[in-house]
C-alpha cells in the first residue's frame, strides 16, 4: 500500500479534526485550544510532546531506529481577524475570527503525517513536528526561535508547505532560491496643527500632508528600486480627523512593503523615511516612521528543493510538479526558520476555491492526503530504515 493510500484511511478522522479547528479559530499567539488539541492528538499517537514553545507553539518528537539524522516538519495554526461568510456547517463560532488561509488544513496535514509515521516507523532517525503559532504577522516563528526551538530540537533540515487556490488538487509548485517575498509593515504618524475647518490658514493640515506623502511613496518602486528587482509599496490604512468642521492635529498612514531581498527592504525603509519627513516638512508638519520587517524573504535550498520535489513527483508524477514556479509576492514567516536551518517550502493545489484572506475561503479536505503523504514519504526517503 502506498503512503497516500495508507493516509486516506484516516480521511474521516482528519476531516473531523480540521472542521473542529476551523469552527474554533484563534488569532496569533492565542491558539491555546488549538495547541491543546494538537498536543493531545500527538500524544494519542504515542509521540513525545513539548508545549508552550514560543508561547503557544507545540513540538512533537518521534524517533525510530538509531540514525542521527533529524528533520523538522512545520505547520502554522493561527487564524485571521475576518468574519466568515462560507455558510459551512463547521463555520467559525468565534465572531470576527476565521481560518481564511488554510492553517487549519496545514495543521491537519501535519497531524496526518505524524500518525502515519508513528504507526509505520519506516524511517531511521528523528522527526520534529513543529506546530507554529502566530504566522499572520504576529511573530510566531521568531517567538519559537527566541524560545530556543533549534537549540532544544536541532534539525538538519526543515520543511513547510502551503495550500494554493487555483492550482488543481494533486499538483505542487516549488522553486529553488528565493520563492516568497520578504515583508514589512509600516506606520507613519504626521503631526500638524489643528484648526477650524473654515480657517485652514490658521493650522497645518496633516490630512493634506498625508495625502501627498501617500502619493510620493509610490516613487520608491518607480524611481528608486532597480527595474530588475521587484518591490511593492502599499498604503492600506489612512486615518485622520473625527469631525466635519475640524482640521485635526494628527493623521496616520499604514501599509506594507514587499521585496525579494533584504537590501531592497532596507532601501525602501530609507527612502520612505526621507520622503515622509521631507514632504511633511514642506507643509510645516512633522512625520515619524515605524518600519517593521515581519517576514524575511523565503529562500529554498537547492538540495532540499529537489528532495521535496522528487518526493511529490513520486506520489503524483513528474507532470504534476512545477519545479520552476515563479516567485510570489506573498510572505511567510517560515522564512526565519529557513534562515537558521536549510530546507524548502512547497505549494500544493487547493483546487477551485476563493483566495486566502477572503471571507469565503475554505480549505479543501481532499487536499489533506496529498500534503500529509509528501511530509511522510519525504521522511522515509531522507532517513531510510537501515541507513546509518
Residue for grid cell 523538522: 72
- Residue range 185-223, pLDDT digits in tens: 999 999 999 999 999 999 999 999 999 999 999 999 999
CB 140 within 8 Å of CB 78: yes
Kindly give the pairing relationship between strand 195-196 and strand 125-132.
unpaired
List the domains of the chain with CATH numbers: 3-178+297-382 (3.40.630.10), 182-295 (3.30.70.360)
* DSSP, res 185: E
**pLDDT, tens digit only, all 388 positions of the chain:** 999 999 999 999 999 999 999 999 999 999 999 999 999 999 999 999 999 999 999 999 999 999 999 999 999 999 999 999 999 999 999 999 999 999 999 999 999 999 999 999 999 999 999 999 999 999 999 999 999 999 999 999 999 999 999 999 999 999 999 999 999 999 999 999 999 999 999 999 999 999 999 999 999 999 999 999 999 999 999 999 999 999 999 999 999 999 999 999 999 999 999 999 999 999 999 999 999 999 999 999 999 999 999 999 999 999 999 999 999 999 999 999 999 999 999 999 999 999 999 999 999 999 999 999 999 999 999 999 976 5
Q: What dihedral angle (degrees, nearest 10) is formed by the CA atoms of 103, 106, 107, 108?
A: 120
DSSP letters, 282-309, are HTT-EEEEEEEEEEPPEEE-HHHHHHHH
Half-sphere exposure of 231 (CA within 13 A, CB side): 27
Smallest CA-to-CA distance from 112 within 377, 382, 388 is with 377
Secondary element (H or E) of residue 157: strand 157-164
The angle formed by the CA atoms of residues 128, 309 and 265, to the nearest 5 degrees, is: 80
With CA atoms as reference, report the closest residue to 204 among 195, 212, 192.
192
How far is residue 203's CA from residue 130's CA, in Å, rounded to a whole number?
A: 55
CA proximity to 78, closest of 16, 8, 143, 145: 143
Classify residue 326 by burial, with Cβ atoms within 10 Å: 0-12, 13-18, 19+. Answer: exposed
Nearest-angstrom CA–CA distance, 304 and 179 = 13
**Of 272, 176, 282, 294, nearest in space to 220 by CA:** 272
340-353 confidence digits (pLDDT tens): 999 999 999 999 99
Amino acid at each position: 500500500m502506498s503512503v497516500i493510500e495508507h493516509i486516506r484511511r484516516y480521511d474521516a478522522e482528519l476531516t473531523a479534526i480540521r472542521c473542529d479547528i476551523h469552527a474554533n479559530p484563534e488569532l496569533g499567539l492565542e491558539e491555546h485550544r488549538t495547541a491543546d488539541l494538537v498536543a493531545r492528538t500527538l500524544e494519542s499517537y504515542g509521540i513525545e510532546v513539548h508545549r508552550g514553545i514560543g508561547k503557544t507553539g507545540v513540538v512533537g518528537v518521534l524517533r525510530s531506529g538509531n540514525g542521527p539524522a533529524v528533520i523538522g516538519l512545520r505547520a502554522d495554526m493561527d487564524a485571521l481577524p475576518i468574519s466568515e461568510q462560507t455558510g459551512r456547517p463547521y463555520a467559525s463560532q468565534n465572531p470576527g475570527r476565521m481560518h481564511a488561509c488554510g492553517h487549519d488544513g496545514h495543521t491537519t496535514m501535519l497531524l496526518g503525517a505524524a500518525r502515519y509515521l508513528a504507526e509505520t516507523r519506516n524511517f531511521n532517525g528523528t522527526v520534529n513536528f513543529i506546530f507554529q503559532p502566530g504566522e499572520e504577522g504576529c511573530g510566531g516563528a521568531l517567538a519559537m526561535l527566541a524560545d530556543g526551538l533549534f537549540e532544544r530540537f536541532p534539525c538538519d533540515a526543515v520543511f513547510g508547505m502551503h495550500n494554493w487556490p487555483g492550482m488543481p488538487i494533486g499538483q505542487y509548485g516549488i522553486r529553488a532560491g528565493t520563492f516568497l517575498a520578504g515583508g514589512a509593515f509600516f506606520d507613519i504618524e504626521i503631526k500638524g496643527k489643528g484648526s477650524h475647518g473654515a480657517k485652514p490658514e490658521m493650522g497645518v493640515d496633516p490630512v493634506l500632508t498625508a495625502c501627498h506623502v501617500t502619493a510620493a511613496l509610490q516613487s520608491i518602486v518607480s524611481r528608486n528600486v532597480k527595474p530588475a528587482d521587484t518591490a511593492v509599496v502599499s498604503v492600506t490604512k489612512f486615518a485622520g480627523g473625527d469631525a466635519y468642521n475640524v482640521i485635526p492635529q494628527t493623521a496616520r498612514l499604514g501599509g506594507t512593503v514587499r521585496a525579494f531581498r533584504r537590501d531592497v527592504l532596507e532601501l525602501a525603509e530609507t527612502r520612505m523615511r526621507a520622503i515622509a519627513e521631507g514632504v511633511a516638512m514642506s507643509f510645516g508638519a512633522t512625520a515619524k516612521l515605524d518600519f517593521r520587517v515581519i517576514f524575511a524573504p523565503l529562500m529554498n535550498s537547492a538540495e532540499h528543493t529537489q528532495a521535496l520535489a522528487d518526493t511529490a513527483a513520486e506520489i503524483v508524477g513528474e507532470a504534476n510538479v512545477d519545479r520552476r514556479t515563479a516567485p510570489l509576492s506573498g510572505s511567510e514567516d517560515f522564512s526565519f526558520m529557513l534562515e537558521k536551518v536549510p530546507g524548502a517550502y512547497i505549494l500544493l493545489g487547493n483546487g477551485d476555491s476563493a483566495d486566502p484572506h477572503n471571507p469565503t475561503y475554505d480549505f479543501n479536505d481532499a487536499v489533506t492526503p496529498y500534503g500529509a503523504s509528501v511530509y511522510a514519504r519525504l521522511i522515509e526517503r531522507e532517513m531510510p530504515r537501515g541507513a546509518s
